[in-house]
């Protein structure tokens, strides 16, 4: 972004042409990089199958990358102390690490 260089964004539009199995999706994303070794992202998508919200945190010191993120969230929960999800009751969290091998040129 010209007004704030630590923030970037994007839009992705996808349409699959397959007769009665066709689908369409639009997705917005925003990425924020406050430091050289840490960044985060959020995204929102709306498609033929519904809407989804996702996020990711990424820490990447030299030679390693650690990340945690999720593609689906639930925001509606029961009022009881256990707070069980209502409606769309699926949430997917991914976490991982990658190691970079090799010498930089």
pLDDT of residue 13: 94
Compute the distance between CA of residue 18 and CA of residue 101 in angstroms, rounded to an integer. Answer: 41
State phi, psi for 101 to the nearest 5 degrees. Answer: -105, 150
Cα-based torsion angle of the residue sequence 91, 67, 55, 5 in order, rounded to the nearest 10 degrees = 180
pLDDT tens per residue, range 1-41: 577 788 999 999 999 998 888 999 999 999 999 998 999 99
Pick the residue with more confidence: 56 or 85? 56
Q: Given the structure tokens 């990089």, which residue do they identify?
A: 33
Longest Cα separation, the chain:
57
Pair 12, 27: CB distance under 8 Å = yes
């Amino acid at each position: 972004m010209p007004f704030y260089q630590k923030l970037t964004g994007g839009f992705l539009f996808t349409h699959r042409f397959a007769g009665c199995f066709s689908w369409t999706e639009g997705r917005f994303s925003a990425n924020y990089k406050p430091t050289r070794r840490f960044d985060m992202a959020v995204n929102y998508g709306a498609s033929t199958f519904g809407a989804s919200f996702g996020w990711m945190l990424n820490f990447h010191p030299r030679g390693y990358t650690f990340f945690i993120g999720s593609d689906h969230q639930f925001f509606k929960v029961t009022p009881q102390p256990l707070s069980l999800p209502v409606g769309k009751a699926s949430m997917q969290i991914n976490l991982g690490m990658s190691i970079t091998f090799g010498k930089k040129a």
